[in-house]
Structure 1
Amino acid sequence: MESTHQEQTHYYVPAPSRWPMVGAVALFFLGLGAAFAVNGKFPGAILLGVGTLILVGMLFGWFGDVIRESLHGSYHGKEDSSFRWGMGWFIFSEVMFFAAFFGALFYVRVISVPTLGDLDYKLLYPDFTASWPLSTGPGITARYGAMEAAGLPLLNTLILLSSGVTVTVAHWGLLRERRGQLVGGLAATVLLGAGFLVLQAVEYRHALTELNLSLGSGAYGMTFYMLTGFHGMHVLLGTLMLSVITIRAARGHFGPTRHFAFEAVAWYWHFVDVVWLLLFVFVYWI
C-alpha cells in the first residue's frame, strides 16, 4: 500500500537542464541566418546550417534524456497525465495554425475575389476576372495552370489514408503484445510517409516547370504553396518521429500499458491525415 500511495502522490522533477538554452542558441542562429539569407548576404547559409545542427543536437539530447528517464521508471501516473495534456495542447496549437491558413484561403476565395470583381472596382482593375484560380490581376505577370485533384494529389491522399491504417494496426499489435505487428506497422507507416514526401517533391517540380505555378502566381500560388508546403513539413516531422518510435519499438521499449510516446506520435499522424483531407478538398478539388 505504501508503494501505491507513493506512485499516486510523487511527481518527478528533473534537475535543471541545459537544453532550453541550447535551443535558444539554435533559434538565434536560425533567425540571424534567415535574415542574412533573404537579403543575399554571405553568412546566411552558414548560419542556417549551424543553427540546424545545434537544433538537431538539442532534439536528440533533450528527447534522449526524457527517454532514459522513462526507461528508468521515473515517470508515474501524474507525469503521464502532464505529457498527455502537453501533447493535446500542442496539437490544438497546430489546429489553430492551419485554421489561420484555411481562413486566409476562405477570405480570398469567398470575400476578396468576388468583391474585386464588382463594378465598383472596374475603374481600378478593368481587366480583372473574378474567378478561381485567378488568371488576371495585379502582380500576375505570367499565366499559370492550376493543380488538378487527379493524379499525384489523389495518389498522395490514398497513401496518407493507408498510413493511418498501418499506424492503427501497429497500435493493435502493441496492445496485444505482438511485437512483429507493432514494428511492421510502424515501418510501413514510415515508408508511406516517405513516399508521400517524394511524390510531393515530384508534384512541386511539375507545378514549377510545366504549370508555371510559383509563389508569384497571385493569391492562388501563395495559398497553394503555403498550405501544402507547411503540411509537407508536418509530414516530414511526423515521419521522423515515427522512425524514432519504430527503432524504440524494435528495442522493446513499449508495453501494452506504458506507451504514451507511441500514442503521442499516432495522435500527431492522424492529425496530419485529417489536415491533408481538408487540403485535398479545398485546395485541389473544389
Structure 2
Amino acid sequence: MTPRIDAHQHFWRYRPQAFPWISDAMPALRRDFLPDDLLPRLAAQRLEGCIAVQARQSLEETLFLLALAEAHPQVRGVVGWLPLASPQLADLLEPLQARRALRGFRHLVQDEANPAAWLSQPALTEGMRLIQSRGYLYELLVTHRHLAAAAAFAARHDRHWLVLDHLGKPDIARGAAHWARQIAPLAALPHVACKLSGLVTEAPGGQWTPEQLRPFFDAALEAFGPQRLLFGSDWPVCLLAAEYDAVAGLCEQALAGLSEPERAAIWGGNACRLYALQEPDYAPQPDR
C-alpha cells in the first residue's frame, strides 16, 4: 500500500535572530516546533511520514533537520540548504552525501531583493548542474510575481525534478483562471512538479473558505495532472490561517472526485517517487 506522506512541513528551535521572517505579527510561530509536536497530527490524518523543508539559509539548520530525520523514522526526507552559487559547493556537499535522509535543496528565493536576477546568475547554473548530477531535486520558492522567471530557470535545469512550493503563491484575489495562465509555462515542463500547499496563508488576511480555494486545486490538477502534484501541509506556517486538520481536510475535499490511484499518488505516491523514499538505501537516484 502506498504510504501517505506530508511533503512539506518545517521544524525549528525558535530564536528571533535566526528567523527574521517570523514577525511580531506571527505569535503562533514564535516557539519551537519539533517532531513530537507533528507526529500526533500525522497520525490523526493517517499520514505515515513527512518531508522536512528548510526555513532559513543555514548549513546549521540542514544538519539539524538531518539529525531529526535520523532520530525519527517518520521524517522520511530532508530538503536542506546549501549556498548553491558558491564555488565551494562541491566541498560542502561531499560530507552530506552520506546522510541518507537528504533528498534535495531549497533557497528562499522569494526573499531575495531581485528573485529573477538570483535565479539567472551564472554561478547558480553551475551549482544546479552539480546537485542535479548527484540526483538531488530542487524546490522552487517564489511568489506569483516571479513565475515567468521560475519557468525560464526550470527550462534550463531539466536533469532532475524541480518542485514548485505552494503553487507559486498565487494571487488569490485575482482568481484561479489568472493563476492558471501564469503557471502554464512551468506546468508544460515535464520535470516540474507542484505542491498543493500554502494556499490558506495566501488568502488575504488569512481569511479563506473552501469555495474560494477549491478552484486553485482544480486548476492545478488541470495543469500538472495527478502524477505531478503532492500534498503538503506547510505546518506550522499554516497555523497562521488554519489548523493542520483543516488543511488536510481542504485537500481531501478538493481531491474527492479523483480515482483512488490518483488520490494515492497525490497523498504519497508522488512524494515517494520524486524523493526516492522507497530506495532501499535512500541513496540519491542517478540522472533521469
Give your verdict on TM over 0.5.
Answer: no
| More strand as a share of residues | 2
Larger radius of gyration: 1
Query: RCO (CA 8 Å, sep 6+): is it higher in 1 or 2?
Result: 2
